[in-house]
Chain A
C-alpha cells in the first residue's frame, strides 16, 4: 500500500504497525510520545491515540476505520478518510514500520541501523497501573455492551517538535532553520531558545546564533567569540 504526502510517496504495510523505540506516556486519554531515533516529540489527542494503538500489525486500515466509526458513532466513509489521514501522518513522521521490500521511495521511515537496545530505565513502569505502551483497545462486544458510542469525536490531532539538540550536529549554516523552526549558527536570533545549538553548546550572542568548541561551522562568524572555525569545527 502506498500513500502520498505532498510530493513524496511512502510505502506502508497493509497492516500498519507501530515502530519500536518510542516512549509513550498517556494522560487522560491523550498521549505524549518521544521518538528516540529522530528526537521528535509528538502529542496525540484521543482520536489520534486510538488509531495509533490500533496499528499493532493485526488490523488493516479499513478495520481500524471500523473501530473509529463504532467508538465515535461516525459515518463509515468519514471514519475511513480520517483514519487514512492519520496513518498518512504517522507514516510521514516515521512512527510506523515501513513495508518490507520498499525501495527508493522510502523517506524518513527506513532506518539502515538496527534500533538501539532499549535502556531498562525507560521501560514502561507497569507497577503504577498506568499503561506506558499502547494498551488494549475495547473489544466490539465491550463497545456494543455500552450501547451506542457515547464518546465525543474530535478530529485527530498530532503536534510535533524536535527536542533541543536534534539540529546541533547537523550541517551548520546551510539552512537557516532547523526542524521545529530553530536557527542554526550564523543566523539571527533574539534569545537562546531561538537557536538550534543546544544550550551549553552555543548561544544567541549579539543577535546571532553561535557555537562553542566542537560545534560544526562554516566560518569564524558561526563561533562564539573568541573562537574560530577550524577545520569545520569551532575551537578556541
Chain B
C-alpha cells in the first residue's frame, strides 16, 4: 500500500506528514488545512506515524518517526498529536539553524513585536491567547524564530497548546477551544489546541522587529505588575532560553544584545488574565516604540 505524504508550510516551517492511519493526518489537517501545499519544500521536516497493534483488543502503540529516525512511542492515540507537535519542535531546533531560536511566545502589532520568553509554566501561552483577543497578531506560542541578519522575528503559526488548568481562562476570553478530544501530554497532562485562525482569519503576523521583551511569571491571585529590567539582564535571560545556542555561540550573544538594545525590557508578574492584558496594552499605548536610528 502506498502511503501518501501531505505537505504543509506554516510560516517558515514546512512539514511533510505521512501515516498508515488516516485519522492522524486528518487531525493535523483539521488544524492546518489552510497551510497545505501540493509539494514539499526542500527543508520540510519529514514525519511518519505508524500504528502497531500488538494485541487485537487494543489499538497502539503508535510510533512517531522523524527524518528517518525513531522518535516517540506512545501508547494512546490521544497522545499522538501532542507528541507530533513536540517532535516537530525538536526537528526545528536541530535543522533550522538559519534562525536564532528562543523558547518564547511572540506576537506583533503595527509598532513591532512583543517577545514573551520563559520556562514552561510561566504563563506565556495563556497570555498570548489573551492578547490575541486584544488585536495582536500571532507569530508563535513556542518559538521566537529570529532572523540573524535582520533581527526580525518570523512566524511559525502553530496551534496554541493549552493546558487543562487554563481551559477556564480561555473560556473567559471567549476563545474557541476545542475540547472534544482528550489530548494528553506526559509533562503537561491534558491539553487542548486553540487554532489562531479560528480567532481571526488574518491573525498571522508578518516578520517584525522586536520592540518589547517581557518575561512573564504567572502567580495565582497576584496583582499584575510590570517591572523594568536592564538590557543586560534581558540579554542574559534570553540566552538562557536559546534552544540552539550551540549553533551560534558568541554570535548568539551579539545578536541578542542587538535585539534588546532596540527594545524595552520588563519582568511581568501575571495574574488575572484581563488585568494582565490591560497592563500590556497600556505599555504599548503609553510608550511608543523607540525610534531606531538608521
Mark A residues whose CB is within 8 Å of B.
23, 25, 27-28, 30-34, 36, 41, 43-45, 119, 121-122, 125, 132, 159, 161, 163-165, 190-191, 193, 198-200, 203-207, 212-213, 225-227, 236
Contact = CB atoms under 8 A, between A and B. Distances in A.
Interface stretch (B166-174, B202-210, B250-258): B250-258
Contact of A23 (B94, B119, B121, B253): B253
B253 A165 contact: no
A200 B56 CA distance: 35
B260 to A, nearest CB: 7
A25 B257 contact: yes
Given A193-B103, A200-B90, A200-B94, A43 B254 contact: no
B120 to A, nearest CB: 4
A135 to B, nearest CB: 15
Interface in B225-284: 230-233, 235-236, 239-240, 242-246, 249-254, 257, 260-261
Given A159-B236, A191-B120, A198-B246, A27 B257 contact: yes
Given A27-B260, A43-B232, A122 B186 contact: no
A106 B239 CA distance: 29
Interface of B: 69-70, 72-73, 90, 93-94, 103, 119-121, 186-187, 230-233, 235-236, 239-240, 242-246, 249-254, 257, 260-261
B230 A25 contact: no
Contacts of A236: 69-70
Contact of B253 (A28, A41, A199): A41
Given A25-B253, A32-B232, 8 more contacts: A32-B257, A36-B249, A41-B236, A163-B242, A163-B245, A163-B249, A193-B103, A198-B246
A115 to B, nearest CB: 13
A122 B236 contact: no
Contacts of B251: 121-122
24 contacts: A23-B249, A23-B253, A27-B230, A28-B231, A30-B231, A32-B235, A34-B253, A45-B232, A122-B249, A161-B239, A163-B239, A163-B246, A165-B246, A199-B93, A199-B243, A200-B94, A203-B90, A206-B186, A207-B186, A212-B69, A213-B69, A225-B73, A236-B69, A236-B70
Of the listed residues A27, A43, A125, A163, the one surrounded by the most CB atoms of chain B closer than 10 A to its CB is A27
B250 A190 contact: no
Nearest to B257: A25
Contacts of B73: 225-226
A225 B61 CA distance: 13
Contact of A122 (B120, B239, B250): B250
B68 to A, nearest CB: 11
Contacts of A34: 239, 249-250, 252-253
Of the listed residues A23, A31, A44, the one surrounded by the most CB atoms of chain B closer than 10 A to its CB is A23
